């Protein structure tokens, strides 16, 4: 459960050419990413929902899901307008768990 809370993007704000992210039910430390340093985004379909991954370098820095976010279409549209579409990736529930367990290094 903690892994889910860590990796799932709980709150996202777009503006001023940056993306602000808070994890852990929105209580986590705010992370800011200038749009120009992001490589782009990827999408996937898992168990009937669409996931969107924000990518910096080769690392997934955040994950948004149509299952968790009521404004997912807005997040997806913003990503399409401002970031490079790196395509759809094939994922499974197993690969999602494996990815969540890996330590993220975004610097």
- 3-state SS of 20-46 is EEECCCCCCCCEEEEHHHCCEEEEEEE
Pairing verdict, β 85-88 and 40-46: parallel
Give the helix, strand, coil percentages of the chain, each rounded to 5. Answer: 25, 40, 35
Query: In this predicted model, what pLDDT tens digit does every residue of 36-77 receive, in sequence order?
Result: 999 999 999 877 889 899 999 988 888 888 887 778 898 899
pLDDT at 23: 76
Which of the listed ranges 1-5, 21-25, 96-100 does the model predict with the highest average pLDDT?
A: 21-25
DSSP secondary structure letter of residue 96? H
Least confident of 7-11, 58-62, 95-99: 7-11
- What is the model's pTM? 0.77
Pairing verdict, β 59-65 and 49-56: antiparallel
pLDDT at 43: 95
CA distance 52 to 75: 9
CA distance 12 to 31: 10
**From residue 22, how far is each of 46, 47, 63 by CA, in Å?**
23, 25, 11
Q: Is 92 a residue whose pLDDT tops 80? A: no
Q: How confident is the model at residue 84 (pLDDT cuts 50, 70, 90)?
A: very high
């Amino acid at each position: 459960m903690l892994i889910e809370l860590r990796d799932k993007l709980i709150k996202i704000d777009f503006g001023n050419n940056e993306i602000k992210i808070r994890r852990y039910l929105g209580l986590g430390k705010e992370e800011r990413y200038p749009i120009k340093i992001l490589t782009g985004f990827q999408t996937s379909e898992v168990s009937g929902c669409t996931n969107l991954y924000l990518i910096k370098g080769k690392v997934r820095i955040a994950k948004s899901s149509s299952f968790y976010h009521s404004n997912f279409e807005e997040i997806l549209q913003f990503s399409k307008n401002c970031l490079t579409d790196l395509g759809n990736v094939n994922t499974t529930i197993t690969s999602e768990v494996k990815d969540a367990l890996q330590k993220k290094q975004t610097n």
